[in-house]
Amino acid sequence: MNANTKKCVIGIGVVAICVALWLLFRGVSDNRNTADDVRKQLNSVAREQQSTARTLESIQSELDDSQRTVRELEQSNINAQSTTDSIARTNESINESISGTQSTNNDCTAILADSQRRISESQSIIQEIRAGTGENSK
């Protein structure tokens, strides 16, 4: 190879290396803007994650409140059932008392009727005796 050819090959090589370097580094200035965009997006994602975490904490708090309310309602239902059972037992007792009172009232009515009948008989006997005493005294 002669000297001119070597110079041409070296020149072409240098130009090729320069073109390759230019192609390789031409997007470096764009990478700064891209890095800023990525940083902004990462900051936005971090804010959204924090917001989501607060929302999840709020939801968890609401769920805890709901569970507490459900337990309180269950206890209230148990208490209401117990009260209902107590009322039912009291009603049975009242019904038994009413039935006993009605039976006693019927017995008293029968005794009263019997007493009135005996009083009437006694009064008629007394009147007969008086009438008989009155006839004897004449």
Return the amino acid letter for 109. Answer: T
62 vs 75: CA distance, rounded Å: 20
Sign of the C-alpha dihedral, residues 13, 19, 22, 26? negative
According to the model, what pLDDT value does residue 39 have?
87
78 pLDDT tier (thresholds 50, 70, 90): very high
According to the model, what pLDDT value does residue 58 have?
93
Q: What residues contact 1, with CB distance under 8 A and at least 6 apart? A: 9
> How crowded is residue 100: how many other Cβ atoms within 10 Å of its Cβ?
10
pLDDT per position as a tens digit, 14-53:
898 988 888 777 765 555 667 788 888 989 999 999 999 9
Chain centre to alpha carbon of residue 89: 29
Nearest to 45 by CA among 71, 112, 53: 53
What average pLDDT does the segment 83-96 reach?
Answer: 96
64 vs 128: CA distance, rounded Å: 94
The CA distances from residue 6 to 1, 9, 44, 116, in Å, are: 7, 5, 57, 158
Q: Name the residue with tokens 């009515």.
A: 109
pLDDT of 85 strictly over 80: yes
According to the model, what pLDDT value does residue 137 have?
54
According to the model, what pLDDT value does residue 61 have?
93
pLDDT per position as a tens digit, 93-138:
999 999 999 999 999 999 999 999 999 999 999 999 988 875 555 5
27 vs 35: CA distance, rounded Å: 12
